[in-house]
Amino acid sequence: MNKIISLEEAVAKVKEGDTVMVGGFLGVGTPEKLIDALVAKGTRDLTLICNDTAFINCGVGKMVVAKLFKKIIASHIGTNKETGRQMLEGETEVELVPQGTLIERIRAGGFGLGGVLTRTGLGTEVAKGKQIVQVDGQDYLLEKPLHADVALLFAQKVDREGNMSFHGATRNFNVYMGSAATTSIVEAREVIREGFMDPDQVVVPGIFVKYIVDGGAL
């Protein structure tokens, strides 16, 4: 099965109102070409699930500036003033989630778990409205799974099967988001078109990847 599609075909998979997970940490390991194409297309009313909102000129920060989101679920928005402005002026809903909890909620969504129990956030605003579960005398917050319609991922290399490998600190959320989304699209710096990746090098198996976009060299 050919998973390699054009950028135009890829962004057409994202519909208005969709929930999208986007890999990256302050723009490092984020699919910039997919983001640029979505900004150009102007697909709106999206809900974003991402570690952060990067910077106004980088990563999902560009989608924030283009006002594509109605809701943002992230652990940190402080590097992008526009996110803060939209939140304080009531234009965009922002749910702040501790970073370790965010990745576990995504992992739970992809891996068939009903949630995760964590001490993180106990006694803080994060705990408001959440169930506290006691295990062996210790309190934990019940944090529920997250799912998405589309995951937009970045890899250093991908083969035609969708097997992904990474370079540097780009693994971050890219490793798990594909499992928690109905459709996942990976933009890779290099698409291996002849043969396949050495199975020893595969970090995320291609079964989690539906479509591949050639991101090209930097």
Partner 1 sequence: MMDKQAMQEFIARRVALEFKQGDLVNLGIGLPTLVANFVPAEKEVIFQSENGCIRLGPAPEPQNVDPCITNAGAVPASLLPGGAFIDSAMSFGIIRGGHVDVTVLGALQVAENGDIANYMIPGKMVPGMGGAMDLLSGAKKVIVAMEHTAKGAPKLMKSCDLPLTAIKAVDLIVTEMGVIEVTEVGFLLVERNPEYSIDEIRQNTGAELHISPNLIDMAL
Cβ atoms of residues 165 and 175 within 8 Å = no
Nearest to 106 by CA among 162, 153, 161: 153
Give the per-residue contact string, 157-196, with partner 1 (x = CB under 8 A; - = no): ---------xxxxxxxxxxx--------------------
Binding mask 120-159 for partner 1 (x = CB under 8 A): xxxxxxx-----------------------------x---
Should residue 87 be labelled a site residue for partner 1 when binding is judged by CB under 8 A?
yes
Q: How many residues does the chain have?
A: 218
- By beta-carbon proximity to partner 1, the closer residue of 19 and 83 is 83
Chain centroid to CA 172: 9
Q: Which of 27, 31, 162, 215 binds partner 1 (CB under 8 A)?
A: 27
* Main-chain phi, psi angles of 73, to 5 degrees: -110, 115
d(CA 182, CA 53): 22
Q: Burial letters for 192-206: b for 16+ Cβ neighbours within 10 Å, e otherwise?
A: beeeebeeeebebeb
For 71, 150, 163, 181, the CA distances from 111, given in Å and listed in that order, are: 24, 16, 18, 11
- Judged by CB under 8 A, the residue of 14, 26, 46, 213 near partner 1 is 26
* 61 counts as binding partner 1 under rule CB under 8 A: no
Nearer to partner 1, 5 or 79 (CB): 79
Count the site residues for partner 1 by CB under 8 A: 48
Stretch that binds partner 1, among 5-13, 35-43, 61-69, 94-102 (CB under 8 A): 94-102
- When asked if residue 119 is in the footprint of partner 1 (CB under 8 A), the reply is yes
Task: Decide if 33 contacts 187 (C-beta within 8 A).
Answer: yes
* Residues engaged in binding partner 1 (CB under 8 A): 25-29, 51-52, 74-79, 84, 87-88, 94, 96, 98-101, 103-104, 107, 118-126, 156, 166-176, 203, 218
